[in-house]
Amino acid sequence: MAIIWKNSRRLVIGLIGGGVVVLGVILMPLPGPGTLIVLGGFAILATEFEGAARVKEWGFRQLDRCKEFIRRHRGQ
């Protein structure tokens, strides 16, 4: 019974997280937070999938680099 619960939990999280990622990719060309929605989807997926956790960490590192770049070049 525990295996069924674990697999169904992974399926539900995969569907929800995947849906959020797809929604974010669709919204990327439009003005708004498409990239942040994609990162949010990977954060959901990262609760169950190790590969998604690595992608999420990489994305958040890139976001931090972008914020630092903006802070350094704001006054120029």
Q: What is the mean pLDDT of the chain?
A: 90
pTM: 0.75
Question: Exposure string (b/e) for 24-62, b if CB count within 10 Å is 16 or more?
Answer: beebeeeeeebbebbbbbbbbbbebbeebeebbeebeee
Q: Averaged in consecutive runs of 10 residues, what is the pLDDT profile of the chain (76 residues)?
A: 80 95 94 90 92 89 92 81
Report pLDDT digits (tens) over 17-31. Answer: 999 999 999 999 999
